[in-house]
Structure 1
Amino acid sequence: MGLPRLPPEAAHLGHNTPRARLIARQNILDTWSTYREPWLTWVNARLPYGHVLDFGAGHGEIWRSSPRLDDTLFSSLTLADYLLKTEVQHALRAQGVGVNVVQLVDEKGQRMRELPFQKDRFDVVVANLMGDLFGEWEDVGKLLEEFKRVLKSGGSIVVALSGRDHLEELFVLEEKVRGPGAWGSRPGLTAENAVGLLEQHFEDLVVERYPADYEIRDVESVIEYWGNWGDKGLTEEQLDVAKREVEQKLSGGVWRVKGNLVLVRGRKKDTRV
């Protein structure tokens, strides 16, 4: 079954919700991007389909532009309550796509140590491991083992990752504005070490870099981007510092920021003898 683009009303957002902030940040990055194709559209064109497990579904926007989701089984995993009832998921259900959203926290609020699915269940695991969600799993190897366990033999793995230098100039300046630790800890699985870890469980790995850096031409978009991190925006004092620092970066007309996003694709190793 094909999945048409979701209707505009499906994207209606309340102000200052986690999903709204996440989408706002992505939209700003797309306006800065030096590549013609937005990140999520680029990723979507490279996704295999079938019975899909989306780990770290984020705002769900990746599925908005998908004309090729040809199976009525779709599962999404997240630790965040706000993702359990998103407009995107409701719209998918309205179009007849079965959406099974599972929260990785039990009734007592304890994080699960295993994915709550039987083995060999999914054709595809799509994993966004760029943000804080990954930090909820203490053992990188254990998480990858779980991906392998729930995949069918020969099933596909698709992992979106950032490099340690992704948006580094923006991170450094943000910490100057907000103070040390503003961005929190960085993910343990990155573009730099992904292949070495993934090849223990998967084969035929292909790494493709999203061919974009970022060109910033105005102060306001940077302020808006930073303001959409966390629950609180910038204080008046931080705003003054931010404007001064960004204006200095823009003294030459354009502030160029390095991007390093990759997509790693592979398939489950066939362990049958």
Structure 2
Amino acid sequence: MTTTLTAHAHAKDQYTTTSSRLAARLSIHNYNTAPQSWFEFAQTSIPKHGSILEVGAGTGALWSDTFPPSEIKSITSLTLTDFSPAMVETMSANPSIISLQSQLPVQILQCDATALPFPDSEFDTVIANHMLYHVDDPLSALSEFKRVLKTGGKLVVALNGLDHLKELFEVGELVGRGSTIAGLAKITAENAVEQITSVGFEGVDGQRFPGEFRLPGVEPVLRYLDSVGEADMEEEKREMVKKVVGERLDGEGVFRVGKNMVVFTGRKP
């Protein structure tokens, strides 16, 4: 399929040809202090019945847990999309996705979030997990989500707040690896309810993921900051990161990183 991709330039540079940067980002979740993983937390907001569409599904990580048959027996179909050919390729080879395909119809497509190739009122649930801030026109994407939802269908959107990973990006700014999303995102946890409501969704509400990340050493910081750029940091910058983070580790024993991750839900009237 040929599409006109409306992800902004940073997202195209980061994700079009590789899924490794996303994998590096996700590795910070190994140090989550909440009793649930992020994906377990997000899954509690997703109805396990009817037809489900996830837009911007990345590597398919949201579906990488093993689900008991009782949780998926009422799902009639699962459709996973992403703008990136590399993500679509990774999803298609994801063992968990392959396992799900033996239990229910699963379709994987490359497409644009603002021009979904589906008819009106096609899905019972539409999910956008940490992807809307990569879109130049998130209101157009939200309108598309509403279009393809059935009346009464549920929208599930996950977004970060502007202070998400604040401590990590404060270090990153010292070496030119600050948060690009903070400067580019047109939708964040702070304005999500207003924007989702503005396109006609009702009952919009958010649940914040509790806890923080506690990094035991400097390597997770280096790995994350490397993933922010197109190449790994130069040795001089890596040494600066080691020094700053090392001082924090000497004082507290861990490098604490705050998170602001919120799952918003709404309903198509």
The alpha-carbon deviation at position 224 of structure 1 amounts to 2.3
**1:120-176 Cα deviation digits (max 9, x unpaired):** 000000012x35x6433x323222111111000000000001001101221121121
Which position in structure 2 is the counterpart of 1:122? 123
Asked whether the 8 Å contact 1:35–1:212 carries over to 2, the reply is: yes
Give the whole-Å Cα distance in 2 for the aligned partners of 1:175 and 1:37: 30
Give the whole-Å Cα distance in 1 for the aligned partners of 2:139 and 2:148: 15
Aligned residues: 242
Higher helix share: 2
Give the whole-Å Cα distance in 1 for the aligned partners of 2:114 and 2:222: 38
Letter in 1 for 2:121: D
Which position in structure 2 is the counterpart of 1:8? none
Asked whether the 8 Å contact 1:208–1:264 carries over to 2, the reply is: yes
Alignment of 1:184-223 (within 5 A): 185-200=183-198, 201-223=200-222
The alpha-carbon deviation at position 18 of structure 1 amounts to 3.5
Q: 1:154 aligns with which of 152, 155, 172?
A: 152
Q: Which moved more, 1:165-174 or 1:70-79?
A: 70-79
Q: 2:98 aligns with which of 91, 95, 113?
A: 91
Q: Report whether the alignment pairs 1:258 with 2:262.
A: no
Give the whole-Å Cα distance in 2 for the aligned partners of 1:135 and 1:225: 18
Which position in structure 2 is the counterpart of 1:7? none
Q: Cα distance 1:217–1:229, how it changes in 2: closer, same or farther (>3 A)?
A: same
Asked whether the 8 Å contact 1:92–1:98 carries over to 2, the reply is: no
- Secondary structure of 1:228 counterpart: helix
Gaps of 5+ in 2: 1-16
Which position in structure 2 is the counterpart of 1:75? 79
Which position in structure 1 is the counterpart of 2:111? 104
Q: 2:180 aligns with which of 183, 192, 199?
A: 183
Give the whole-Å Cα distance in 1 for the aligned partners of 2:97 and 2:40: 21
Give the whole-Å Cα distance in 1 for the aligned partners of 2:119 and 2:229: 35
The alpha-carbon deviation at position 261 of structure 1 amounts to 0.4
Q: CA RMSD in A?
A: 2.3
Which position in structure 2 is the counterpart of 1:142? 140
- Secondary structure of 1:84 counterpart: helix
Give the whole-Å Cα distance in 2 for the aligned partners of 1:218 and 1:101: 37
Q: Which moved more, 1:181-190 or 1:151-160?
A: 181-190
Give the whole-Å Cα distance in 1 for the aligned partners of 2:21 and 2:53: 24
Q: Cα distance 1:57–1:180, how it changes in 2: closer, same or farther (>3 A)?
A: closer
Which position in structure 1 is the counterpart of 2:33? 34
The alpha-carbon deviation at position 266 of structure 1 amounts to 1.6
- Secondary structure of 1:170 counterpart: helix
Q: Which moved more, 1:22-31 or 1:45-54?
A: 22-31
Asked whether the 8 Å contact 1:171–1:183 carries over to 2, the reply is: no
State the percentage of identical aligned residues: 35
Asked whether the 8 Å contact 1:30–1:39 carries over to 2, the reply is: no
- Secondary structure of 2:19 counterpart: helix
